[in-house]
Structure 1
Amino acid sequence: MGFTRRDLLKTTAGASASLMVPSLLTLRARAQDLSFKPEEGASLRLLRWSPFVKGDEEQWLANTKKFTEATGVEVRVDKESWEDIRPKAAVAANVGSGPDLMFVWFDDPHQYPDKLLEVSDLANYLGGKYGGWYDGPKSYATRDGQFVGLPLATIGNAIVYRDSWVKEAGFSEFPKTTDKFLELCQALQKSGHPVGFTHGHGVGDGNNYAHWLLWSHGGKMVDEKGTVTINSPETQKAIEYAMELYKTFIPGTEGWLDVNNNRAFLAGELSVIANGISAYYSAKNDPKLAEIAKDIRTTNLPVGPVGKPVELYQVTSAVIFKYTKYPNAAKAYLQFMFEEAQMSEWITKSSGYCCQTLKAFASNPVWTADPANAPYAKASETLRPNGYAGPLGYASAAVMADYVLVDMFAEAVTGQQTPQAAMERAEKRANRYYRV
């Protein structure tokens, strides 16, 4: 059975007109039609990361069911922990077998672009229909001008904190600069409400925190030519700042993965974390945590000596492996999931967790439905890609996958290395990839 525009219209006939803003209607009218006919007897397997927001997974599965009903193509959706996605994707690419589609992280598509199905036709269709792709997410999914994946979502990162404890520490509003932020963390630690940021191998939280530390102080892993520049006075300042912050932390953050800060925060063990909307979402939807939810506030991370916001944010792209037996079915599936009726509902049900990568969806009402969602609304628009200031590619992806930057900060704050030794070790590790 072929999936066509007519099938899509049938499945979306009941969609609420209130969700369709003029920009979407205009863009859709201008878009050239595109359809893929699934192969005879096609079935698909998708491997995605485990959700932190229940509505994300539930709506993705509901949309998948709609696709199966429209096309007859069964889609099995499996999930893995965030940390396991990257190695499993690399194995599938190199071995040539596994799931047909995957949700991968950051610039991972640049590690094995020749193993991925080019989807420029679909990406250009969607971009033309929905206002274009944001540059940051697009850079992760393109190689030599060709799309080897579709930028699916940006999972924003922001400060999540207990408002009453911040005020108790003597701050009427949350600090907007790194200097004042350090003063707040010191005051919170003294008042018995320590803070905690991930120094462990958390794909999202560990990388987001480490890159913010580095970039906010003017440091960078490489320059515009891809020469490793991590061993610098700016990096030294970032490490020294991190060491002072670490003194205010709850014990054990050097071993944290992405789930640990959520758990500690919701257990009342600490007052401030950097996280997606998931921590607030969990409290808001658990009657036992109602009082905590009322006290939670969110805001963007403080601005450092560079004088402007510089944050990584976590991008996930949907890729199709070349070894799939059903490339047309896989493209039809992704097209269906990105169309307005499905994508708008998925963004809404994700409750601010998954930020749109196509510009036309920026008007989704979820971003104004709750003040806590606001700091996450422009994640795709404002993110700084991994690998700054050099180009994305195998080296940038490999350095992140090897946690070079995360380890540098962790080694210094825990006293395993001096700041200088930590920088030199990071420099040596990064050069293994950038000199290939």
Structure 2
Amino acid sequence: MTISKRELLLGGASLAVGSLALPFAGGTPALAQAIPKFEPEAGASLRLLRWAPFVKGEEDAWLANTKKFSEATGVEVRIDKESWEDIRPKAAVASSVGSGPDIVWVWFDDAQQYPDKLLDVTDLAKALSAAYGGYYPGNEVYAKVKDRFVGLPLATIGNAVVYRESWVKQAGFSEFPKDTKGLLELGKALKGINHPMGFTLGHGVGDGNNFCHWVLWSHGGRMVDENGKAVINSPETVEALRYVAELYKTFIPGTESWLDVNNNRAFIAGDLAVTANGVSIYYAAANDPKLAEMAADMRSTNFPIGPAGKPVELHQTTTACIFKYTKFPKAAQAYLSFMFDAPQYNAWLTGASAYCCQTLKAFASNPVWTSKPIHAAYAKASDTLRPNGYAGPLGPQSAAAMADWIVVDMVAEAATGQRAPQEAAKRAQTRAERVYR
């Protein structure tokens, strides 16, 4: 079969994987016919709204791949960036007014808030899944409404505990604690040597949600049960809030106002011994010659195990969605198909330096995960993530509950003493019941 360059690129993975073994992607997947081809509309141009990058190499790789697509197809792609906190409201407004970017990278279950405003990409999503080993369940559920894909799972932004090894040892610990009790004891010891911990308790889309959901889940608490009934006011939740109130005493002051950038800045400034973040925090030090000593001292690990007895981590997920109002649906799908093709997607993962974890299992063999020891804690983010709507179904209610910061506010209120644990849990229950009617 003879394939032109244009056919190869427009078909994305469909043609690229038909007869070639894929580097880092588990060998040769399904035949070319598995992935639908999309011929861009005449005169098509696209606008993508994405979150502002924390790792320059990730953005550089995405832009380089986009340039390849434009050169092959003639479709220009304008890429706009917004802060993490602004993506959600910007996307919601675009869905409401019916104009704006053609493609948007949304967080968590944001797509569940306006699924009818998003283009059905089921055929493309299923074809990519078949070609590349299937989606991780946690990523897939965010992108689906019943049996319909309203987006393509793009990446998991792995969240891990990052710490200064020398300071942890100075505090009397030969290794980082593996349970919540040990973490509290470490926090006390670190504060005693003036090297405190600090976890985000403000409205940080990534770090605030990840930490506060871990606090809740690690003690067996949950927002709702399997039927979507609000059950957050429980003995397990109260115990989690009592724990975080004690842990907060070991924090650096001000964490209740932190957004996603603040813990990075505090750690890089040398004010913190322990925080939780994406791997970007390591590269902020590693790429600065003045911080070489700090980078060499940094280690990562997964969150400790709590009374629930098993790892329970949220992790931030991002999904690429196409709005129905786009004038160029075929061009938009051709673009995403191209970007998920193995050469492009692997280049993006490599450029992201372990910041973005793959959503398709075949890409787990990308060498980036074993290239540096600090990457190990981030390697299985997609495999271990728990959807934020746990233990109920995802949908408009779970998305609204997260957008309203119910879990984050509850944990922050109890941690800072603004409300007693029982009062914070009770208030969260009332708020959850308004959402889960």
TM-score tier after normalising by the smaller chain length: over 0.9
Identity %: 66
- 1:185 equivalent in structure 2: 187
Match of 1:348 among 347, 350, 356: 350
Post-superposition shift, 1:6? 5.9
1:432–1:9: structure 2 CA closer, same or farther, 3 Å change rule?
closer
Asked whether the equivalents of residues 26 and 365 of structure 2 are also in contact (C-alpha less than 8 Å), the reply is no
Tell me the secondary structure at the aligned position of residue 203 of structure 1. Answer: coil
Post-superposition shift, 1:416? 1.4
Post-superposition shift, 1:8? 6.3
Cα deviation 1:95-128 (Å, max 9, x = unaligned): 1111000000000110000000000011011111
Amino acid at match of 2:148: Q
Provide the rounded CA distance (Å) in 1 between the counterparts of 2:21 and 2:187: 44
Matched, 1:249 2:251: yes
Matched residues, number: 430
- 1:212 equivalent in structure 2: 214
Matched, 1:143 2:174: no
- 1:24 equivalent in structure 2: 27
- 2:404 equivalent in structure 1: 402
Provide the rounded CA distance (Å) in 1 between the counterparts of 2:37 and 2:5: 8
Post-superposition shift, 1:24? 3.2
Provide the rounded CA distance (Å) in 2 between the counterparts of 1:46 and 1:9: 18
Provide the rounded CA distance (Å) in 2 between the counterparts of 1:3 and 1:108: 34
Asked whether the equivalents of residues 11 and 37 of structure 2 are also in contact (C-alpha less than 8 Å), the reply is no
Tell me the secondary structure at the aligned position of residue 297 of structure 1. Answer: strand
Structure 2 counterparts to residues 347-386 of structure 1, below 5 A = 347-386=349-388
Asked whether the equivalents of residues 5 and 35 of structure 1 are also in contact (C-alpha less than 8 Å), the reply is no
Matched, 1:99 2:134: no
TM-score of the two chains, using structure 1 as the length reference: 0.96
Cα deviation 1:212-271 (Å, max 9, x = unaligned): 000000000000000000000000010000001100000100000000000000000010
1:3–1:223: structure 2 CA closer, same or farther, 3 Å change rule?
farther
Give unpaired runs (5+ residues) of structure 1: none
- 1:43 equivalent in structure 2: 45
Match of 2:393 among 391, 394, 398: 391
Provide the rounded CA distance (Å) in 1 between the counterparts of 2:182 and 2:311: 15
- 2:433 equivalent in structure 1: 431
Provide the rounded CA distance (Å) in 2 between the counterparts of 1:138 and 1:85: 20
1:52–1:320: structure 2 CA closer, same or farther, 3 Å change rule?
same
Matched, 1:132 2:134: yes
Post-superposition shift, 1:29? 3.9
Asked whether the equivalents of residues 31 and 129 of structure 1 are also in contact (C-alpha less than 8 Å), the reply is no
Cα deviation 1:335-361 (Å, max 9, x = unaligned): 000000000010011000000000000
Match of 1:59 among 61, 72, 75: 61
Post-superposition shift, 1:414? 1.5
1:286–1:387: structure 2 CA closer, same or farther, 3 Å change rule?
same
Asked whether the equivalents of residues 354 and 369 of structure 2 are also in contact (C-alpha less than 8 Å), the reply is yes
Give unpaired runs (5+ residues) of structure 2: none
1:212–1:108: structure 2 CA closer, same or farther, 3 Å change rule?
same
Amino acid at match of 2:88: R
Q: Note the aligned Cα RMSD (angstroms).
A: 1.8
Asked whether the equivalents of residues 5 and 34 of structure 1 are also in contact (C-alpha less than 8 Å), the reply is no
Amino acid at match of 1:291: E
Asked whether the equivalents of residues 3 and 332 of structure 1 are also in contact (C-alpha less than 8 Å), the reply is no
Post-superposition shift, 1:28? 4.2
Post-superposition shift, 1:5? 2.7
Post-superposition shift, 1:31? 5.7
Asked whether the equivalents of residues 5 and 33 of structure 1 are also in contact (C-alpha less than 8 Å), the reply is no
Q: Which of 324-333 and 419-428 deviates more?
A: 419-428
Matched, 1:281 2:283: yes
Provide the rounded CA distance (Å) in 1 between the counterparts of 2:241 and 2:12: 55
- 2:264 equivalent in structure 1: 262
Amino acid at match of 2:358: Q
Tell me the secondary structure at the aligned position of residue 429 of structure 1. Answer: helix
Tell me the secondary structure at the aligned position of residue 79 of structure 2. Answer: strand
1:177–1:22: structure 2 CA closer, same or farther, 3 Å change rule?
closer
Tell me the secondary structure at the aligned position of residue 4 of structure 1. Answer: helix
Provide the rounded CA distance (Å) in 2 between the counterparts of 1:47 and 1:246: 36
- 1:296 equivalent in structure 2: 298
Tell me the secondary structure at the aligned position of residue 140 of structure 2. Answer: helix
Provide the rounded CA distance (Å) in 1 between the counterparts of 2:312 and 2:176: 18
Tell me the secondary structure at the aligned position of residue 171 of structure 1. Answer: coil
Post-superposition shift, 1:411? 1.1
Structure 2 counterparts to residues 329-344 of structure 1, below 5 A = 329-344=331-346
Asked whether the equivalents of residues 25 and 364 of structure 2 are also in contact (C-alpha less than 8 Å), the reply is no
Tell me the secondary structure at the aligned position of residue 24 of structure 1. Answer: coil
